[in-house]
Amino acid sequence: MLKLLNVDAAGERALRVVSYFDQLLVHQPSLESVVRASAILADCPVGLSLPGIGLRLRFSPEGLELGDRAQPESSAKLAIEGPDNREDGLAWLERDGARGDLDDFILERMALTVASVLVRTVPLADIDFATGLSDPALAQLLINEKANEAERSRAARLMGIDQSSRIQLVAVQSGSFLPAHVEALAATLRSAWQRQVFAAQMSKDVVIVIAIGRDPVDWNVVSVDGRAASSDVVDVLQAPEAWRQARVALRFAGLGIAWPNQLDAGRVGVLGTLSALDPATVRADADVRRIEALAASAGGAESIRILDIVLQTDTLRSAAREANFHHSSIQSRLATIEKRHGLSVRSGADRQRISIALLLWQLIQN
């Protein structure tokens, strides 16, 4: 894996961190291997303390084991949670200078990986199935496409999910989630959908919800803060594909005026393939660059909104009513936009080009 400093885009570096730990998890690493790999990735000494099992580890960025020492006050640190959601220890990064912009994210992924390693040694009898809150490490195993069926099956059992169940996975994105928010979300959805629901925090702003049942969840009976998207109903062992569906659909949730904040993956259909396009390729497209320039111009946000409304309505008069503008004002603004693009929304082919360019631009913003 390339050093993270050699990768330009922050988003791409974060994806590399996720991929790095996912690949590590596939090989069923020891705790020593996890700490060593984290130190190599972070390019600084990394430590792990698990007092419950009498373990304390430190490794250098060269992968060499270091002697024990007190954890520096300036280090980035994160509590490790075990399979029963109790705080079992601490992980930290040791930097002499300023903290790296991905230090907290590396620690978060390291902590999940450590928890996954601990899961393999936890007997079923020690797990409390009563809570609707789930260990993020177990959720990570359940949706990891590189984990084998036995690992995913065990993760489901540890969460209290029968392997014969049918499930839907829901991705919910909002502001920073606290444990109390995740618990409240699970309770709200459980009450609205009248079914067993499990929830686990996957990152600072994303929660995975696992809804048990053979019928699709009904978004008409509940409203959640932020954006949310649900997968198809699948077998438990198909959880990785369901999570992929939910994450793709989440990118469309709340996108412009055409997409509600809560939706099912089935509504996305073939448009989901657009979300798989390389963002750099999308940004380089001439039509998308024109949308970007329009958004960056004076009054750009309003121009984008007007264009979106025009593309979603049948007539300019309908668009004017929707935008709360006079018909002549909409016509004037649209003429300026069309001149910038050299295209006309009255032409079927041009309208399709502008619609796709706008959608692609919205996707890379989301």
Q: Tell me what pLDDT residue 128 has.
A: 39
Q: Quick one: pLDDT at residue 346?
A: 76
Around Cβ 85, how many Cβ atoms within 10 Å? 16
pLDDT exceeds 90 at position 169: yes
Q: Which one-letter amino acid corresponds to residue 27?
A: H
Whole-number pLDDT of residue 271: 93
Alpha-carbon distances, residue 167 vs 212, 229, 233, 241, 301 (angstroms)? 5, 14, 5, 12, 39
In degrees and rounded to multiples of 5, residue 274 shows phi and psi of -65, -30
Higher-confidence residue: 190 or 330? 190
Using CA atoms, how far apart are residues 165 and 268, in angstroms rounded to an integer?
25
Rounded average pLDDT over 197-206: 88
Reply yes or no on whether the pLDDT at 125 is more than 80. Answer: no
Cα–Cα distances (Å) from 127 to 122, 135, 205, in that order, read 8, 11, 26
| pLDDT category of residue 106 using cuts at 50, 70 and 90 | very high
| Confidence bin at 327 (pLDDT 50/70/90) | low
pLDDT-derived band at 131 (thresholds 50, 70, 90) equals very low
Could you tell me the CA-to-CA distances from 184 to 176, 188, 198, 335 in Å, in that order? 14, 6, 11, 48
Percentage with pLDDT > 70 across the chain:
82
In the predicted structure, residue 29 carries a pLDDT above the cut 70? yes
- pLDDT band for position 87 (cuts 50, 70, 90): low
Mean pLDDT value of segment 228-234: 96
90 pLDDT higher than 50:
yes
Band of residue 121 on the pLDDT scale cut at 50, 70, 90: low
Least confident of 36-45, 153-162, 242-251, 255-264: 153-162
Q: Which residue has the higher pLDDT, 295 or 217?
A: 217
pTM of the model: 0.61
pLDDT at 360: 95
Q: Residue for token digits 């994160």?
A: 78
Q: What is the pLDDT of residues 254-279, one digit of tens each?
A: 998 889 999 999 999 999 999 999 99
